[in-house]
Amino acid sequence: MDHVDLAIIGTGSGNSLVTPDWDGKRVAVIESGAFGGTCLNVGCIPTKMFVYPAEVATTVREASRYGVDAHVDGVRWRDIRDRVFGRIDPISAGGEQYRIEGENTTAYLGRARFTGAHTLEVALNSGGTAQVEADQIVIATGSHAVVPAAVSEAGVPFHTSDTVMRIDELPERIVIIGGGYIACEFAHVFSGLGVEVTVVARGERLLRHLDGDVSRRFTSAAVTQWDVRLNTQVDGLSSVPARDGGDPRHVDATLTDGTTIEDALLLVCTGRVPSVDDLDLSAAGVEQHPDGRVVVDEHGRTTAPGVWALGDVCSEHQLKHVANHEARVVAHNLVHPDDLRSFEEDVVPAAVFTRPQIATVGATQEELEEAGVPFQFKVQEYADVAYGWAMEDTTGFCKVLASPEGRILGVHLMGHEASIVIQTAIQAMALGLTAHETARGQMWIHPALPEVLENALLGIEQSQD
């Protein structure tokens, strides 16, 4: 059995735990798939690299509204795809090689499971097993796509976000099951690149987890872009029969509204769950939440002494920036047991790179109402600020929620570059600034788009104390 000072299961944010503090010590890095985790290989980075050309193509198609006559001559899907993975795959491969050749790291390429409180067995991808004993272990295995039984048991070809970006050709049409952020981002990507998109959502709105105003207004915008089937589910799936023009990689999808989408690529976007099923956590005494997440305290410690966890495997926020924050905290705590730091996740922002783009931080109106927290709010339209006029924007808006005294409780944006515009609000909430202090404590470039946030903040009444 190999003995190491630290074993890290997963090479997403967990890979960053190998700091100079471990020089001269032995570290095992265990990975069963591609190095770099979800974000690098199948998540944040490649999806945004697809979003951008989709955004460019859509902007060109809509250029006539500004007096510019333009059109898209064609989309070279393979060129788009190869640009993305021609950059990403070498980074992943380089990270793997770096750990293989590292002076103090040993890379175990395979799937790990606990055999005791501090022992692991790794089923190596190359065959055979390796036994590892570690003084400390970090679980950073991330998450994977959920596939409903109705799909997996139907025996039809389908894709998830983990696979769809590597297809060889754009389909004529695509059926996307799901109404969350992954579904809405891919709907934008494929629609922007010229694919006929049908979104099948079982709820009455898309992005239901967001603030109600955002969800409702986004749904209204989405139905003008895609064929959106709300309150609908897939009732039956069958492989495309051998017929002229039929693609054996596609399906016929019968929906509960009585219609059938024929000869479509099937993309399943029904969420992600922690990748823990084969870790045998009970063998180490690691407890889990009912939804499968690993239980950790504010320092990242699991219920097993010397075993830590971070990122999607334990966090309620499936966000790379959250995982990176947790990795920084755990990296410190691993080597400073008498000076533990805590996760600081009171202000967690997020964005959905769909069309229109969405960004959010803090509480939604519904959460405040349910908790009985008093609040005031202001909604500012993109159309009512100068840069919004320049864009002829008709859908974008900014919503600020604040306490009666003016403390910012939540900010929600839908519109052009929302993920950039919201950053000032994130900083203000992190620093404890009121809406008035944020709006009047600095100059705002005129007539730049952040004025939509400035004006929303100015609509919040100041404290009378």
Using DSSP, state whether 337 is helix, strand or coil.
Answer: coil
Burial class from Cβ neighbours inside 10 Å (0-12, 13-18, 19+) for residue 406 reads buried
Catalytic pick among 209, 289, 336, 446? 446
Q: If DSSP codes are grouped into helix, strand and coil, which group holds residue 22?
A: helix
Which 3 state secondary structure label does DSSP give 119?
Answer: strand
Cβ proximity of 178 and 269 under 8 Å: yes
Question: Contact, 183 vs 269, CB < 8 A?
Answer: yes
Q: Name beta bridge partners: 166.
A: none
| List of residues 6+ apart from 369 with CB closer than 8 A | none
Query: What six digits make up the tokens of 256?
Result: 């509960």
Per the DSSP assignment, residues forming a β-bridge with 176 are: 199, 267
Distances in whole angstroms, Cα of residue 160 to Cα of each of 182, 187, 235, 305:
10, 13, 19, 36
Where do the H-state alpha helices sit in 105-230? 149-152, 181-192, 212-222
Distance CA 224, CA 195 (A): 15
Question: What sign for the dihedral angle of Cα 123, 124, 127, 131?
Answer: negative
Query: From CA 33, how far away is CA 30, in angstroms rounded?
Result: 9
Q: How far apart are CA 388 and CA 454, in angstroms?
A: 14
Retrieve residue 66's tokens. Answer: 């500004």
Contact predicate 247/169, CB 8 Å: no
Question: Which H or E element spans position 418?
Answer: helix 418-421
Residue recorded with tokens 């790379």: 320
SS3 130: strand
Judged by DSSP in three states, 190 sits in helix
**3-state DSSP assignment of residue 170:** coil
Contact 423, 359 (CB under 8 A): no
C-beta of residue 142 within 8 angstroms of C-beta of residue 309:
no
Q: Any catalytic annotation for residue 446?
A: yes
Residue 115: how many other CB atoms lie within 10 Å: 16
Please list the active-site residues: 446
